[in-house]
Amino acid sequence: MPLWLDLTVRVVAVVGGFLTLPLVVGQAEHKVMAHMQGRLGPMYAGAFHGWAQLIADGVKFVQKEDIAPRAADRRVFQLAPIVALFPYLLVLLAIPLGPGGLVAQAMDIGLFFVLAVLGVGVVAVLMSAWASANKYSLLGGLRGAAQLLGYELPLVLAAASVAMAAGTLSLPGIVAAWQPWWLVWQFPAAAVFFVAGLAEIRRPPFDMPIADSELVFGYLTEYTGLRFAFFLLAEYVGIVVIAALTTVLFLGGWHGPWAEQLGWLWTLVKVFAVSFVIIWLRVTYPRLREDQLQRLCWLVLVPVALAQLVLTAAVKVLT
């Protein structure tokens, strides 16, 4: 296959997944929350099991007027939703779907690249908060910055543990080196990574930056129409990315029966299973207070991640 055609196929496949998987997760969230909370509305649009609810939401956002506050920095205000989305597209390029080079761009430092790009999310939060010229947006942006910068540390430490165990920063290499007993050995790192990942995408119970009871809707208060929809899409893409990284780093990625033929399917099944857990947590747990959020990060997750890193180093030295 010519190089240009190979690159085109890979990019189109990643963009297709980028546009499709978040919508599947969004539809699943409508249905899971409807069942868990006894909501009737999401089950009626389109008749059978409310299959058209997501379409109805999309039409609603398209019809809404795109408004920017008079005092806003209009260019930054309009650019922030794109900045929120774009890093996740880059991350998906490096996540392996299956064995045999089934990845858009394999990199020797793939884990480093992924963690570095994920850190750009705080820029979008600050851009939208400052450019909105709204005090509630600014307070939400400051909360978001404190949360994202704080939870970056346990996220990186947990990822470093499994990278040290595998002896590589390559994501396909980590999956290839994974062993089933890592489910026990690296479980503390997996728990830290998953919780820190939830905080990074600002999902409940870590949604302090958009606390509606205190901040109206935080840094999203002034957004309407498609720009608001882009932020919601970024949230769902974030769910897919965190679920995919948890799968690749800690759940064995494509490992399973007939991995050579069905590895891609095992990866997707695990990604959707982790996504279901993320949705379930939203329905189950109330929002953390700001002091509880920071205490969990610095007094629980960071010490556990450091202890796991020391344990991993000791095991590698002894073996």
pLDDT single digits (tens) 235-258: 899 999 999 999 999 998 888 888
* Per-residue pLDDT, 160: 93
Residue 185, CA atoms < 13 Å, CB-side half-sphere = 19
- What is the band of 7 on the pLDDT scale with cuts at 50, 70, 90? confident
Q: What phi and psi values does residue 102 have, to the nearest 5 degrees? A: -80, 65
pLDDT of 307 strictly over 90: yes
* Per-residue pLDDT, 175: 92
* Per-residue pLDDT, 287: 86
Tens of pLDDT, residues 26-50: 888 888 888 887 777 777 777 777 7
Residue type present at position 252? G
pLDDT, greater one: 214 or 81: 81
The highest-confidence range among 52-66, 90-104, 150-164, by mean pLDDT, is 150-164
C-beta atoms surrounding 4 within 10 Å: 8
pLDDT of 268 strictly over 90: yes
Torsion, Cα 269 275 277 283, to 10 degrees, reads -140
Least reliable range by pLDDT among 111-115, 208-212, 233-237, 301-305: 208-212
* Per-residue pLDDT, 272: 93
- DSSP 8-state assignment for residue 210: G
Residue with the two structure tokens 């809707």: 217
Tens of pLDDT, residues 186-223: 999 999 999 999 998 888 888 888 887 787 888 888 88
For the chain, give the mean pLDDT: 87
pLDDT, greater one: 125 or 53: 125
Torsion, Cα 131 136 138 143, to 10 degrees, reads -140
Residue with the two structure tokens 């920063």: 169
pLDDT of 171 strictly over 90: yes
Percentage of the chain modeled with pLDDT above 90: 30
Q: What phi and psi values does residue 189 have, to the nearest 5 degrees? A: -65, -40
Residue 285 contacts residue 205 (beta carbons within 8 Å): yes
Percentage of the chain modeled with pLDDT above 70: 99
pLDDT of 152 strictly over 80: yes
- Model pTM? 0.91
- What is the band of 1 on the pLDDT scale with cuts at 50, 70, 90? low
Which residues on neighbouring strands pair with residue 98, listed in sequence order? 102
pLDDT, greater one: 71 or 41: 71
* Per-residue pLDDT, 232: 86
Least reliable range by pLDDT among 53-67, 77-91, 110-124: 53-67
